[in-house]
Amino acid sequence: MPAITKKDSRLRLQFLPNSDHSIHAGLLAVEALARRFDLWNKLRQLPGLDPRKDKRRGYEPEVIVGQLLYALCSGGGCLSDSEALNDDPLARELFRGEKFADQSQVGEWLREQSEESVTALRRLLHEFVAWVWQQADPRRLLHAGQCEVFFDDTQLEVTGKCFEGADFNYHKQLALSWQTLWVGPLLAASG
Protein backbone atom coordinates (compact mmCIF):
# COMPACT_ATOMS: atom_id res chain seq x y z
CA MET A 1 0.00 0.00 0.00
CA PRO A 2 1.48 3.39 -0.91
CA ALA A 3 2.04 6.08 1.72
CA ILE A 4 -0.94 8.32 2.39
CA THR A 5 -0.15 12.02 2.59
CA LYS A 6 -2.27 14.98 3.62
CA LYS A 7 -3.31 17.14 0.71
CA ASP A 8 -4.34 20.76 0.75
CA SER A 9 -8.08 21.28 1.13
CA ARG A 10 -10.06 23.23 -1.42
CA LEU A 11 -11.55 25.17 1.50
CA ARG A 12 -10.02 28.51 2.40
CA LEU A 13 -10.39 29.45 6.06
CA GLN A 14 -10.16 32.97 7.35
CA PHE A 15 -10.48 34.17 10.94
CA LEU A 16 -12.11 37.58 11.31
CA PRO A 17 -12.95 39.63 14.39
CA ASN A 18 -16.67 39.64 15.12
CA SER A 19 -18.10 42.45 17.19
CA ASP A 20 -21.74 41.37 17.10
CA HIS A 21 -21.54 37.70 18.09
CA SER A 22 -24.08 36.13 20.40
CA ILE A 23 -23.59 33.76 23.29
CA HIS A 24 -27.13 32.63 22.60
CA ALA A 25 -26.50 31.13 19.14
CA GLY A 26 -27.69 27.72 20.38
CA LEU A 27 -31.17 29.21 20.70
CA LEU A 28 -31.58 28.65 16.96
CA ALA A 29 -31.85 24.93 17.70
CA VAL A 30 -34.18 25.54 20.66
CA GLU A 31 -36.49 27.66 18.51
CA ALA A 32 -36.45 25.13 15.67
CA LEU A 33 -37.39 22.32 18.07
CA ALA A 34 -40.13 24.45 19.67
CA ARG A 35 -41.62 25.20 16.26
CA ARG A 36 -41.53 21.55 15.16
CA PHE A 37 -43.38 20.60 18.33
CA ASP A 38 -45.74 23.59 17.83
CA LEU A 39 -44.90 24.66 21.39
CA TRP A 40 -45.98 28.29 21.10
CA ASN A 41 -49.50 27.39 19.92
CA LYS A 42 -49.79 24.65 22.53
CA LEU A 43 -48.84 27.11 25.28
CA ARG A 44 -51.51 29.56 24.08
CA GLN A 45 -54.13 26.85 24.56
CA LEU A 46 -53.17 25.74 28.07
CA PRO A 47 -55.85 26.49 30.66
CA GLY A 48 -55.04 28.87 33.50
CA LEU A 49 -51.58 29.82 32.23
CA ASP A 50 -52.48 33.50 31.80
CA PRO A 51 -53.14 35.12 35.21
CA ARG A 52 -53.53 38.66 33.80
CA LYS A 53 -56.74 40.50 34.63
CA ASP A 54 -56.40 42.80 31.61
CA LYS A 55 -55.43 40.61 28.63
CA ARG A 56 -54.64 43.70 26.52
CA ARG A 57 -51.59 44.52 28.66
CA GLY A 58 -48.48 42.70 29.70
CA TYR A 59 -46.89 39.59 28.28
CA GLU A 60 -48.67 36.60 26.82
CA PRO A 61 -47.90 33.32 28.63
CA GLU A 62 -45.94 31.88 25.69
CA VAL A 63 -43.61 34.90 25.85
CA ILE A 64 -42.80 34.35 29.54
CA VAL A 65 -42.43 30.57 29.13
CA GLY A 66 -40.34 31.08 25.99
CA GLN A 67 -38.17 33.62 27.79
CA LEU A 68 -37.57 31.20 30.65
CA LEU A 69 -36.87 28.37 28.21
CA TYR A 70 -34.41 30.52 26.25
CA ALA A 71 -32.65 31.60 29.45
CA LEU A 72 -32.37 28.08 30.88
CA CYS A 73 -31.20 26.60 27.57
CA SER A 74 -28.44 29.19 27.29
CA GLY A 75 -27.02 28.62 30.77
CA GLY A 76 -29.17 30.99 32.79
CA GLY A 77 -29.97 30.09 36.35
CA CYS A 78 -31.92 33.04 37.77
CA LEU A 79 -34.63 35.46 36.74
CA SER A 80 -32.12 38.21 35.95
CA ASP A 81 -30.65 35.91 33.29
CA SER A 82 -34.02 35.83 31.56
CA GLU A 83 -34.16 39.62 31.60
CA ALA A 84 -30.61 39.80 30.20
CA LEU A 85 -31.92 38.31 26.95
CA ASN A 86 -32.98 41.89 26.17
CA ASP A 87 -29.29 42.73 25.68
CA ASP A 88 -28.87 40.23 22.85
CA PRO A 89 -30.24 41.27 19.44
CA LEU A 90 -30.19 37.64 18.21
CA ALA A 91 -32.41 36.45 21.08
CA ARG A 92 -34.88 39.31 20.53
CA GLU A 93 -34.96 38.79 16.76
CA LEU A 94 -35.30 35.04 17.09
CA PHE A 95 -38.23 35.37 19.48
CA ARG A 96 -39.76 38.11 17.34
CA GLY A 97 -40.65 40.18 20.36
CA GLU A 98 -39.96 43.84 20.97
CA LYS A 99 -38.72 43.17 24.44
CA PHE A 100 -38.55 40.41 27.02
CA ALA A 101 -40.13 40.88 30.44
CA ASP A 102 -37.98 42.15 33.29
CA GLN A 103 -37.18 39.84 36.18
CA SER A 104 -39.89 41.27 38.45
CA GLN A 105 -42.55 40.64 35.78
CA VAL A 106 -41.30 37.07 35.28
CA GLY A 107 -41.29 36.49 39.06
CA GLU A 108 -44.81 37.88 39.37
CA TRP A 109 -46.02 35.59 36.55
CA LEU A 110 -44.43 32.56 38.26
CA ARG A 111 -46.04 33.40 41.62
CA GLU A 112 -49.45 33.73 39.96
CA GLN A 113 -49.44 30.20 38.57
CA SER A 114 -52.11 27.89 39.94
CA GLU A 115 -52.28 24.16 40.55
CA GLU A 116 -54.30 23.96 37.31
CA SER A 117 -51.67 25.75 35.20
CA VAL A 118 -48.78 23.76 36.71
CA THR A 119 -50.66 20.52 36.00
CA ALA A 120 -51.27 21.68 32.41
CA LEU A 121 -47.56 22.46 31.96
CA ARG A 122 -46.64 19.03 33.31
CA ARG A 123 -49.04 17.39 30.83
CA LEU A 124 -47.39 19.39 28.05
CA LEU A 125 -43.96 18.22 29.27
CA HIS A 126 -45.14 14.60 29.12
CA GLU A 127 -46.47 15.19 25.60
CA PHE A 128 -43.12 16.71 24.59
CA VAL A 129 -41.14 13.77 26.00
CA ALA A 130 -43.37 11.30 24.14
CA TRP A 131 -43.02 13.33 20.94
CA VAL A 132 -39.21 13.46 21.21
CA TRP A 133 -39.14 9.73 21.90
CA GLN A 134 -41.07 9.12 18.67
CA GLN A 135 -39.01 11.57 16.59
CA ALA A 136 -35.50 10.74 17.74
CA ASP A 137 -33.21 8.04 16.49
CA PRO A 138 -33.51 5.40 19.27
CA ARG A 139 -29.73 5.10 19.51
CA ARG A 140 -29.61 8.68 20.81
CA LEU A 141 -32.01 7.87 23.64
CA LEU A 142 -30.57 4.56 24.80
CA HIS A 143 -27.47 3.81 26.82
CA ALA A 144 -25.72 0.53 25.98
CA GLY A 145 -28.82 -0.41 24.02
CA GLN A 146 -31.22 0.05 26.95
CA CYS A 147 -33.54 2.78 28.12
CA GLU A 148 -32.30 4.18 31.40
CA VAL A 149 -34.84 5.41 33.94
CA PHE A 150 -33.38 7.42 36.79
CA PHE A 151 -34.98 8.98 39.86
CA ASP A 152 -33.14 11.78 41.67
CA ASP A 153 -34.02 13.42 44.97
CA THR A 154 -31.97 16.59 45.39
CA GLN A 155 -32.10 18.34 48.73
CA LEU A 156 -30.90 21.86 49.46
CA GLU A 157 -30.31 22.64 53.10
CA VAL A 158 -31.77 25.99 54.12
CA THR A 159 -31.80 28.19 57.19
CA GLY A 160 -34.38 30.72 58.27
CA LYS A 161 -38.14 30.73 58.55
CA CYS A 162 -39.24 31.87 55.09
CA PHE A 163 -38.66 28.85 52.88
CA GLU A 164 -42.06 27.68 51.70
CA GLY A 165 -42.20 23.92 51.35
CA ALA A 166 -39.06 23.29 53.40
CA ASP A 167 -39.17 20.28 55.69
CA PHE A 168 -36.78 18.31 57.86
CA ASN A 169 -34.81 15.63 56.04
CA TYR A 170 -33.49 12.33 57.41
CA HIS A 171 -30.50 14.19 58.93
CA LYS A 172 -32.97 16.44 60.79
CA GLN A 173 -31.83 19.45 58.74
CA LEU A 174 -34.29 21.91 57.21
CA ALA A 175 -34.19 21.32 53.46
CA LEU A 176 -36.01 21.92 50.20
CA SER A 177 -36.43 18.79 48.16
CA TRP A 178 -36.81 18.40 44.41
CA GLN A 179 -37.53 15.01 42.91
CA THR A 180 -36.97 14.35 39.22
CA LEU A 181 -37.64 11.37 36.97
CA TRP A 182 -35.42 11.00 33.92
CA VAL A 183 -36.23 8.69 31.02
CA GLY A 184 -33.10 8.47 28.91
CA PRO A 185 -31.79 12.03 28.58
CA LEU A 186 -35.24 13.57 29.09
CA LEU A 187 -36.77 15.03 32.23
CA ALA A 188 -40.11 13.22 32.37
CA ALA A 189 -41.50 14.48 35.68
CA SER A 190 -40.55 16.59 38.69
CA GLY A 191 -42.08 17.62 41.94
- Write out pLDDT tens, residues 125-151: 999 989 998 998 888 888 888 888 888
Query: Mean pLDDT, to the nearest integer, of 65-90?
Result: 88
Of 19-23, 104-108, 127-131, 184-188, the range with the lowest mean pLDDT is: 19-23
CB 105 within 8 A of CB 58: yes
153: pLDDT strictly greater than 90: no
Confidence (pLDDT) at 30: 87
The Cα 113–Cα 93 span in angstroms is 28
Q: What is the pTM of this model?
A: 0.73
Total H helices, total E strands in the chain: 8, 4
Q: How confident is the model at residue 5 (pLDDT cuts 50, 70, 90)?
A: low
Confidence (pLDDT) at 6: 62
- Alpha-carbon distances of 55 from 32, 59, 131, rounded to whole Å: 28, 9, 31
Question: pLDDT digits over 175-190, tens only?
Answer: 777 788 888 888 887 7
